[in-house]
Amino acid sequence: MNTTVTTRKFLTVGNMTRIAMLTALACLLDLIPGIPIVGFYKLDFSLLPVMLGNFSMGPIAGAIILALKCLIGWAHSTTMGIGKLADFIMGLALIIPAGLIYARNKTRKTALIGMLIGTLCMVVIGVFANKFILIPFYAQMMPMEKILAMCGADSEWKLLLIATAPFNLLKGVVLSLITGIIYKPLSPLLHGKIR
């Protein structure tokens, strides 16, 4: 009974509308070419609407927005979907801790702590996801030597430590800073309190 009530509270017309709007915005931002950082790693801002939905409606809404963004983005993927899989894994690593921590006590401090922990999770999970899932997929499309050369590395672990980890740290920090700046002014809109 309690689960049914919680589900009804979550699946309101207002929440579904906000999820759809944030998904559309995330998809539009996903179409903008990212800023090249190192090798094939590019900084894009399509996770911002995901973060906004995550904080305003909770981690389930954030995960739904992220999943829809990645599924829709699969249609224009230039990496046979591997980039979208990476985006989904790293996005979940960032939003789940941030959303869960913020949901327990909705203050600016807990939001910052949540985003810091989410960023650290994104760095750690990014290294292991690249090592065991993503780079082996990329290696089926191009030789490992070419992948390493793109990032100026001479071994897979060096690639993970000089490119993957710093990139995810930078991305997490940038997204967290922007989210921290824009969330409060957008909060009334994100909670449907604009008249």
Q: Is residue 137 part of a domain?
A: yes
Domain residues for the domain of 50 are: 2-190
Specify the CATH number for the domain of residue 142. Answer: 1.10.1760.20
Q: How far apart are CA 134 and CA 29, in angstroms?
A: 23
Q: Is residue 37 part of a domain?
A: yes
Tokens, residue 8 = 């009804």
- pLDDT, residue 120, reads 98
Q: How far apart are CA 95 and CA 105, in angstroms?
A: 16
CA distances from 15 to 27, 129, 151 (A): 18, 31, 41
Q: How far apart are CA 73 and CA 160, in angstroms?
A: 25
For 38, counting Cβ atoms within 10 Å of its Cβ (0-12 exposed, 13-18 middle, 19+ buried), the class is: middle
- pLDDT, residue 97, reads 97
**Could you count the other beta carbons within 10 Å of the beta carbon of residue 97?**
21
Q: How far apart are CA 19 and CA 81, in angstroms?
A: 23
Q: Is residue 195 part of a domain?
A: no
Domain total of the chain: 1
Q: Is the pTM of this model over 0.85?
A: yes
Q: Is residue 173 part of a domain?
A: yes
Q: Identify whether the C-beta of residue 139 lies closer than 8 Å to the C-beta of residue 148.
A: no
Q: Is residue 161 part of a domain?
A: yes
SS3 content of the chain, % helix, strand, coil (to 5): 80, 5, 15
Tokens, residue 6 = 């919680």
Q: Is residue 25 part of a domain?
A: yes
pLDDT per residue, tens digit, the chain (195 aa), is 455 545 567 778 889 999 999 999 999 999 999 999 988 899 999 999 999 999 999 999 999 999 999 999 998 877 788 889 999 999 999 999 999 999 999 999 999 999 999 999 999 999 999 999 999 988 888 899 998 998 888 899 999 999 999 999 999 999 999 999 999 999 888 887 655
**Could you count the other beta carbons within 10 Å of the beta carbon of residue 93?**
22
